[in-house]
Amino acid sequence: MSVQSLGAAGSLVVVAVDVGKNVVALSVTDAGRHRLLGPVDFEMTGRGLDWVLGLIRSKLAGLDVPVKVGIEAAGHYHRPLLGPSVWPAGWQVLELNPAHVAEQRRVQGRRRVKTDALDLEAITELVLAGRGLPVTAREAVIGELGAWAAHRTRRVQARTATKNQLLGQLDRAFPGLTLVLPDVLGTKVGKLIAAEFADPKRLATLGAGRFIRFAASRGLQVRRPLADGLVEVARDALTTVDAPVARQVLGADLALLTELSAQIEVAEAEIARLLPLSPFATLTTTPGWGVVRAGNYAGALGDPQRWPGPSQIYRAAGLSPTQYESAGKRRDGTISREGSVALRRALIDLGMGLWFNDAPGRAYADGLKARGKKGGVIACAMAHRATRIAYAMVRDEVVYDPARWA
C-alpha cells in the first residue's frame, strides 16, 4: 500500500502490543483497518525492541500521522514497555484492560479462541474506538504504592501464618501457658516468655521475684499476681516428648516473626512517604483511614483516572449482587465475588474504618442494624459508602467533610 492510499485510509496508525513473559507480539494497522505490519514476534529485550521499531519506521517512512501504541496489561510483564523512553517521541502509549480485550474478542465472535493474532485485532479495535488509559508520569508513584502495599499484605499474611505456627510449637514446649496468658503474642510479657522461657523448668527455677526483676531489666513491669501465676503454671507443666524439637522450631519462628515485623514497618514507612505524592493524599483526613488503609486502597485501585465512577470500582471489587432477568422474571442472587480480591478487601476495610471511627458512618451502620440487616450486609453497605466517599475525595482533591456525608 502506498503512502497516499494510507493517508486516505485514515489519519491514525495503531501499534497493538500483546505481551508475554519473554516474547511480545505486535502488529501495525491504519485507521482503515489495513494491516501494515505483522503480526510479528520479538524478544522482550532492548535489541528485540530496536529491531521491531526499525520495521515500523520503514513502514511509516514519509508518512506524518499520529501513532497510538495499545498495550494490554499483563500483570507485571508489560511494564517494561510503559516507560516514556521506550517508544519514539510523539507516540501516545495506552494501557488496556485485559478484560476489555477479552470482551472485544467475544464481540468479534471469538470468545473461545485466544491467539496472539486475535488479541492484536481486539487491541487495535479498542484503540480505534478511543479506549485505553494514557500512561502518565504519576504512574510511577502509583506503581510504587501498589508494590509496597502488596508487599506489606504478603508479609502480614506470612506473619499471621507464622504466629499460628509459633503458638502451636509453644503449646508443645510450654503446655498450660495460655491458662494464664490467653493471648500470648498479644502482650509484651507473653513475647518475653516465648523468647526466653519456652522451657517451663527455667521459669519455675527462676521464681516469681527474680522473674519480675528479669522483666524489669528489659523494660517490662510485671505485677506480682501475674508472675506468681506464670511460675505456678511452669511448675505444673506436663512435658511432652517433642518439647525439645518444639523449642528449636519456636526459636526459628521467633526470628522469622521479628524479620517479618521489620519488613512490615519498612513497607508502612514507604507507603507514608508516597501517599502525599499521589492523588490519594487526602484520604488520610477521613476518620479511621490511616496510612495502611489508604495505601491498600491506592495499591488495589491504581490510577483513579481509569475509573469513570464509584459504581465501576464497586463492581470491579466483586461486591455487586448478581442479577438475572429473563422473560419478565427476575432473580437476584448473592454477592458475585468476581473481581479483584485486593480491591474487595481494601473497600471492606475502608468501610470498617468508617463504621468504627466516623460518626455519620456509624449512624448509617446503626440504622441498617436497627432495620434487621445482618453483619455481612452492613459490611457491604459500608464498603459501598466508602467507595463513593473515597472516589469523590480523590476526584475533587478535597479533605473529608463529615457534613457532606451525614
Mean pLDDT of 98-109: 79
pLDDT of 198 > 60? The answer is yes
3-state SS of the chain: helix, strand, coil percent to 5?
60, 10, 30
**pTM of this prediction?**
0.70
The segment(s) of the chain belonging to CATH 1.10.287 are 142-273
Kindly give the interhelix angle for 188-196 and 200-216, rounded to the nearest 10 degrees: 130
Q: What's the grid cell of residue 32?
A: 482503515
pLDDT in the model for residue 22: 83
In 3D space, the residue among 373, 309, 299 whose CA is nearest the CA of residue 364 turns out to be 373
| Three-state secondary structure call for residue 241 | coil
What percent of the chain is modeled with pLDDT above 70? 90
CATH of domain 3-135: 3.30.420
The segment(s) of the chain belonging to CATH 3.30.420 are 3-135
pLDDT of 5 > 60? The answer is no
Confidence tier at 268 by pLDDT (50, 70, 90): very high
Mean pLDDT of 359-372: 92
- β-sheet with 92-96: strand ranges across: 35-43, 23-30, 13-19, 67-72, 92-96, 133-134
pLDDT in the model for residue 357: 93
Confidence tier at 151 by pLDDT (50, 70, 90): very high
Task: Please name the residue ranges forming H helices in 174-219.
Answer: 188-196, 200-216
- Mean pLDDT across the chain, nearest whole number? 85
Q: Are the CB atoms for 203 and 181 separated by under 8 Å?
A: no
* pLDDT tens digits for range 225-241: 999 999 998 998 887 78
The domain made up of 142-273 has a fold known as Helix Hairpins (1.10.287)
pLDDT in the model for residue 384: 94
